[in-house]
Amino acid sequence: MADNDISATERRKRMNLSGKHLLVTGGAGFIGSNFILYLMREYDNLCITNLDKLTYAGNLENLRGVENDPRYRFVLGDVCDRTLLQSLFAEKQIDLVVHFAAESHVDRSIRDAGAFVQTNIGGTLSLLDAAMNAWKLDGGYRADVKFLQVSTDEVYGSLGKTGVFTERSPLDPHSPYAASKAGADMVVKAYHDTHGLPVCITRCSNNYGPYQFPEKLIPLMFTNCLRKKPLPVYGDGLQVRDWLYAEDHCRAIERVLLDGRAGEVYNIGGRNERTNLQIVKTIIETVRRLHDPSVSEALITHVADRKGHDRRYAIDASKIERELGWKPLVPFEEGMERTIRWYLEHEDWLAHIVSGAYEEYYRQMYGESAS
Ligand code: NAD
Ligand code: DAU
């Protein structure tokens, strides 16, 4: 491509991330692996260290396409392990931290919150200390370093029928998961306000797309459609989420890494509110059209509601749109079609998960087998 064919945004992108070394935590999970694959496609000259503990949610199959790439390395480890973190920062000159690693499932946090507090708050604190110590110079920090905390709209709590969350909405988390993310965000903010560490916090709405672990709504309902199993809708199914295709989330994180102002929070969302029942019906309709015409809405089964279930989330993303020029590119219908096609083409990926420990989780949660 001739130089003048490259847009201004594209040129800036190449200048700013090229040559950088990113420490991505939780890169073997759903969004983290989408992010690594996205960056490796977009940039030639960039290095990534992926630190992941490989909990039940971490899956190196997601990263097969890059595992032998010299720009990428995987490190098995825990974000709570301070000795390991210190050695990672000492070995390589890390420029940017993108912190995805977390316990991420609300239902699991209701059953047992311990790992959520430990990883989501304790792990974030360990990582902040390691970055701060490595980046510190007399009177400040190395130039061009940034710590990006990947957070969630759930820290804002729940909305009624109207209104949206802005970056100024008060934090009002309800589930133990959301509380642990809000706690982590507060520690990140404190390291900026107290120590001047260059941090940004992103708060995104519900993601969907390839590689999402089947405990979450969309892949769970898809998997059950394939197996003609009941589709367990919590309560009346009229709870609302604001769905965003995962690659659009990755592009938003890229924009914040490039141009986000230190100390700022950026909301990310798709302006795409749907009730859970609408989502389930879209999945049924897509599976019928692409794969099996005999799947029907008769599979929908209303089950007991989630405890403390947030009724509605909706994100006002105008700050990142206005300041950083981000907007979602993948319309919901196209994203759902791509996602369902991906799962249909990767039944082996699903089959590797829907066994063992997941089978045990599913049985405890839904009172029957997942397969
Ligand atoms: P995920 O559960 O799919 O992946 C989490 C990853 O973190 C896994 O690879 C896991 O092995 C790793 N991990 C867990 N504990 C760890 C530890 N102690 N040390 C190192 N690695 C550890 O999660 P996801 O859905 O990809 O979410 C990623 C991040 O994005 C989370 O911080 C989550 O709060 C946030 N987020 C998710 C969504 C969503 O819709 N999924 C939306 C907004 C924000
Ligand atoms: O909003 C961002 C958050 O989105 C992220 O921070 C979380 O990490 C991510 O897991 C997600 O949380 P939710 O609780 O919104 O996602 P989940 O897929 O678990 O549920 C979506 C909705 O579907 C929610 O209202 C609960 C409902 N649901 C979920 C499952 C698994 C059901 O009705 N039945 C189900 O079996």
Per the structure, the count of domains in the chain is 1
CB 48 within 8 A of CB 72: yes
Q: How many A from CA of 257 to the centre of ligand 1?
A: 18
Interior angle at CA 173, CA 172 and CA 178, nearest 5: 155
Q: Is residue 369 part of a domain?
A: no
Pick the ligand that lies closest to the CA of residue 240: 2
pLDDT tens-digit profile of 247-300? 999 999 999 999 999 999 999 999 999 999 999 999 999 999 999 999 999 999
Q: Hey, what amino acid is at 53?
A: K
Find tokens 């979450």 and name the residue.
216
Q: Is residue 326 part of a domain?
A: yes
User: Which residues partner with 182 through β-bridges?
Assistant: none
Give Cα 150 distance to the centre of its chain. Answer: 7
Task: Report the C-alpha gap between 181 and 261 in whole angstroms.
Answer: 21
Task: Report the C-alpha gap between 324 and 261 in whole angstroms.
Answer: 10
| Ramachandran class of 86: left when φ > 0, alpha when ψ lies in -120 to 50, beta otherwise | alpha
pLDDT tens-digit profile of 198-248? 999 999 999 999 999 999 999 999 999 999 999 999 999 999 999 999 999
CB atoms within 10 A of CB 330: 18
For residue 148, what pLDDT band results from cuts at 50, 70 and 90? very high
Q: Is residue 200 part of a domain?
A: yes
- Please give the share of the chain, as a percent, with pLDDT higher than 70: 96
**236: exposed, middle or buried (C-beta count within 10 Å: 0-12, 13-18, 19+)?**
exposed
Helix (H, G, I), strand (E, B) or coil at 81: coil
CB atoms within 10 A of CB 348: 8
Q: Is residue 56 part of a domain?
A: yes
Residues contacting ligand 2 via CB (< 6 Å): 104-106, 152-154, 205-206, 216-217, 220, 232-234, 239, 241, 276, 306, 313
For residue 4, what pLDDT band results from cuts at 50, 70 and 90? very low
CB 255 within 8 A of CB 325: yes
Longest pairwise C-alpha distance within the chain: 68
Q: Is residue 219 part of a domain?
A: no
Q: Is residue 303 part of a domain?
A: no
Which domain does 53 fall in, by range? 3-213+243-274+311-331
How long is the chain? Answer: 371
Helix (H, G, I), strand (E, B) or coil at 162: coil
pTM over 0.95: yes
pLDDT tens-digit profile of 115-128? 999 999 999 999 99
Helix (H, G, I), strand (E, B) or coil at 329: coil
CA neighbor of 272 nearest in space, from 217, 314, 312: 314
Task: Report the C-alpha gap between 189 and 165 in whole angstroms.
Answer: 19
Q: How many A from CA of 46 to the centre of ligand 1?
A: 23
Q: Is residue 285 part of a domain?
A: no
CB 287 within 8 A of CB 222: yes
Mutate to test the pocket of ligand 1, among 49, 100, 201, 207 (most ligand atoms within 8 A of CB): 100
Any idea which residues carry the catalytic annotation? Answer: 153-154, 177
Q: Is residue 152 part of a domain?
A: yes
Helix (H, G, I), strand (E, B) or coil at 348: helix
Answer whether 26 contacts ligand 1 (Cβ < 6 A).
yes
Please report how the helices 276-290 and 217-226 are oriented relative to each other, as an axis angle in degrees rounded to 10.
40
For residue 18, what pLDDT band results from cuts at 50, 70 and 90? confident
User: Which residues partner with 267 through β-bridges?
Assistant: 203
**327: exposed, middle or buried (C-beta count within 10 Å: 0-12, 13-18, 19+)?**
middle
Residue 28 maps to which CATH number? 3.40.50.720
